Chains A and B, each alone.
Chain A
Amino acid sequence: MIIDIKNLKKTFDDGKIVALDGINLQVEEGEFISIMGPSGSGKSTLLNMIGALDRPDSGMIKVAGRNLMKEKDLSSFRAREIGFIFQLHNLIPNLTVLENVEIPMFEGPYEDRMDERAMELLEYLGLADKADRLPSELSGGERQRVAIARALANDPTIILADEPTGSLDSKTEKKILEKLKELNREHKVTIVLVTHDPRVASMASRIIEILDGKIVGG
């Protein structure tokens, strides 16, 4: 089991806002799951817990064999095990495509051969000819592919994607989702995708529905 969550709780604003209200979730290595729910349902909070961007109040969460309730060095955990893809690509505007892909490598195993590794990833995503361009010179779909390359930089065990196609047209959306599927199929990367769109969620092999901080289906 790559993700094991038991009775996880998280509140904000001194308990006034209950974001996660006793979540139980188990994910096997190599799965592609979708977490679906309306905005404010707690799906992004859950994703942030799995990615160790935020700490839960109580419960138990184990990811890639590490107990995140006790883990001290969360940044190392993120660098080695997790690849994030955000709704907005969040690329650094003054860095080239290649340099953007290299950003996570400062904290990972490819520090000594960044250029080589980044070029491999860009080739895999069909962006090798755009390596020296700035993000502003790319289309929306291309930027999101760069973001995928960046998420893969340190060879993560899990990819966490928060509305990764939220700002794309449907044709580009399809391409990006197919790429994620291929990644999951061919490279056995576990993928957790958060979306409010049932069409996007249906790309996954399992759909978890979440409402008011509780899992209600899947």
Chain B
Amino acid sequence: MKFIHLILKNPFRNKIRSILAIIGIAIGIATIVALGIITEGLKESTQETLKAGGADFTIVESNVSDMFLSTIDEDYINKIRDVNGVKEAVGVLTSVQPVEDTPYFVVIGIDPSKITLSQVKIAVGRSIKEEDEIIIGKVASEKLNKTVGDKISIKGENYRIVGIFESGNIQEDGGAFISLKKLQEIEDKEDKVTMIYVKAEKNANIEKIRDQIEEKYGENLTTIASLEDLQSVDQGLKTVDAASWAISLLAVIIGSIGVVNTMIMSVFERTREIGVLKAVGWKNKRILTMILGESLILTLIAAIIGSVMGVTAIQILTHLNMGGFIKPVYSLNIFLKAFIVAIFVGLLGGFYPAYRATRLEATEALRYE
């Protein structure tokens, strides 16, 4: 018999208790995994938005809590264009509109002649030219069951679908582009844009351009070139990250209490048996390893079940199609984090019961009824 064989056998002597403990931890792990998948997805789609159309960087309003709440005067677009090294600057206005059954439908306003700067690839039909024309994303087309030639109503006005596009960005693919002028009009945001995409000249030093802009217009504008830049500006992403960590911590605490409880009961019931192990010459280290090992078995099984549960929950959410905002990203890091948490909970929750087992007096333990 191998030692590991013994460790594997013990947790299932009281099946119901072990299964309950596993479920408790698995729910915590599932929460961590599901939140991780959503957070990663959110970060990735935000990053895609920043890099739209191969823009080198994006300009948003300074001191704004969320990127999409940013408002910039349109005048700045020409000023940015004049900055040394800038090849092109395009302003876009982003808004969320209820369309048919979809409560959150992203509509982006852009100058029709500059649409090439966005990442958009027309799959069917053509791009917009007139103010009453609209192109919708592939995902939106499937969801609304509309295609080229159909009409879409936004705020009581009808728009003709002239093209279906793909951009690879979940928020765009689930939404639509119309002309900037029109969106400014219906949103009552004349001469305003949400952000400015900036494309630099070939071989230009991007950092230098950003420095110039920050120097000249830093009071009102902030340049963002990467997700890290955004996180220092955007409270939304910070909050999501913090919430994700807080919930993970909570899961660790609740899971550990479950493990401590299960393992204390298990050690208590085996008092006499532990006395026998001591009598036959087992070292305290081996007894400690056995109990910690049993605790780890519980949490590792929970990690596997929890990961499956988390992924399943996300799959169900995506199938229900919650507005197309969730784009799951299954990065290895999420599952790594789940397993590290499980191991941590196993060691943390198992340590006290294991320590108690080693402190048992052999003679007392053998007398235990």
A84 touches B1 (CB 8 A): no
- Cα A99 to Cα B87 with chains together (Å): 78
In the assembled complex, the Cα of A90 lies from the Cα of B275 at a distance in Å of 9
With contacts A90-B272, A90-B276, A90-B366 known, is A104 near B281, CB below 8 A? yes
A99 and B13 in contact (CB under 8 A), knowing A75-B278, A150-B280? no
CA distance in complex: A150, B273 (Å): 14
Residues from chain B with Cβ under 8 Å of A202 in the complex: none
CB distance from B286 to the nearest CB of A (A): 7
Say yes or no for A148: interface residue by CB 8 A criterion: no
CB distance from A153 to the nearest CB of B (A): 7
Interface of A is mostly: helix
Would you call A106 and B279 a contact (CB within 8 A)? no
B280 in contact with A153 (CB, 8 Å)? yes
Instruction: Give every chain B residue within 8 A of A139 (Cβ-Cβ).
Output: none
Q: Which residues of B in the span 1-26 have a Cβ within 8 Å of any Cβ on A? A: 1, 3, 6, 9-10, 13
B362 within 8 A of A: yes
Which of B277, B280, B282 has the most chain A CB atoms inside 10 A of its CB?
B280
Q: Which of B271-309 contact A (CB under 8 A)?
A: 272-273, 275-284, 286
Partner of A104, one of B280, B361, B366: B280
Fill in one digit per residue for B330-368: 1 if any A CB lies within 8 Å of its CB, else 0. 000000000000000000000000000000011100100
Identify the stretch in A1-9, A29-37, A48-56, A169-177 within 8 Å (CB) of chain B at 4 or more residues.
Answer: A48-56
Interface centre among A86, A102, A106, A153 (most CB of B within 10 A): A106
Interface contact B366-A75, CB-CB below 8 Å = no
B282 touches A114 (CB 8 A): no
**A residues near B278, Cβ cutoff 8 Å:** 53, 75, 78
CB distance from A196 to the nearest CB of B (A): 16
Nearest Cβ on chain A to B11's Cβ, whole angstroms: 11
Q: Which of B10, B284, B366 is the one whose CB lies under 8 Å from A94?
A: B10
The reply on A127 being an interface residue by CB < 8 A is no
A137 lies within 8 A of chain B by Cβ: no
- A119 to chain B minimum Cβ distance, whole angstroms, is 12
Option from A80, A95, A98 in Cβ contact (under 8 Å) with B9: A95
Evaluate contact between A86 and B280: CB separation under 8 angstroms: no
A53 in contact with B279 (CB, 8 Å) = yes
In the complex, what residue of chain A is closest to B365 when comparing beta carbons?
Answer: A53
Judging by beta carbons under 8 Å apart, are B273 and A78 in contact? no
Across the interface, name the chain B residue whose C-beta is closest to A94: B13
CA distance A78 to B280 in the complex (A): 6
**Complex formed: what's the CA distance from A163 to B9 in Å?**
31
Whether B283 pairs with A107 at a CB distance below 8 angstroms is yes
Partner of B280, one of A48, A79, A94, A99: A79
Chain B residue numbers with a CB within 8 Å of A82 are 281
Decide if A106 touches B276 in the complex (CB within 8 Å): no
- Set A84, A98, A102, A107: member contacting B282, Cβ < 8 A: A107
- Given A48-B363, A86-B366, A106-B286, do A78 and B279 touch, yes or no (CB 8 Å)? yes
| Cross-chain contact of A53 among B1, B9, B363 (Cβ < 8 A) | B363
Indicate if A76 sits at the interface (CB-CB under 8 A): yes
Q: Chain A contacts of B282 at CB under 8 A?
A: 75, 79, 104, 106-107
Known: A90-B273, A92-B273, A99-B1. A80 touches B281 (CB 8 A): yes
The CA-CA distance from A79 to B286 in the complex, in Å, is: 13
Alpha-carbon gap, A98 to B279, bound state (A): 19
Query: Which residue of chain B lies nearest to A81 when distances are taken between CB atoms in the complex?
Result: B281
Q: Can you list 12 A-B pairs, Cβ within 8 angstroms, ordered by A?
A: A53-B363, A54-B361, A54-B363, A75-B278, A75-B282, A76-B281, A77-B281, A79-B280, A79-B282, A90-B272, A94-B9, A104-B280
Q: A75-B284, A94-B13, A107-B281 are in contact. List 5 more A-B contacts (CB 8 A).
A: A53-B362, A86-B276, A93-B13, A107-B280, A108-B281
Interchain residue pairs A-B with the least CB separation, the first 5:
A79-B281, A104-B280, A78-B281, A107-B281, A53-B362
